Amino acid sequence: MNVSAKELRKEPGKILKKVARGEQIVVTYRGKKMAKFVRLEEQSGNQAKAAQDDKDEIFGLWKNHENTQSVDDHIRRLRKGRSF
């Protein structure tokens, strides 16, 4: 099924319900196909565990940095503010 970007903005819930039922939705912008919504399959136990383990891992430039910590710990430290 094709929907326009305007339809997606107006009725996102209706479109997501169709995706949840298994339909593939193609979003068009000015008549050109731009995106495709498909339902994600449930992950098996091992894949879900691996995905959860990778969730907080730092990547890219900071991956091998010596002072790495979990993302949550880093954000808490940043939000804590300074103490004088």
Q: What is the mean pLDDT of residues 54-67?
A: 60
Q: What is the mean pLDDT of residues 43-70?
A: 58
Per-residue confidence band for 27, with pLDDT thresholds at 50, 70 and 90: very high
Indicate whether 51 belongs to any domain.
yes
The number of folded domains in the chain is 2
Please name every residue paired with 4 in a beta bridge, in sequence order, or none if there are none.
28
Same domain, 52 and 28: no
Helices (H) and strands (E) in the chain, counts: 4, 3
- pLDDT for the residue 26: 94
Same domain, 30 and 53: no
Per-residue confidence band for 43, with pLDDT thresholds at 50, 70 and 90: very low
- For 4, residues 6+ apart whose C-beta sits below 8 A from its C-beta are 27, 28, 29
Same domain, 31 and 54: no
Indicate whether 67 belongs to any domain.
yes
Same domain, 51 and 33: no
- pLDDT for the residue 64: 66
Range of the domain at 24: 2-37
Percentage of the chain exceeding pLDDT 90: 37
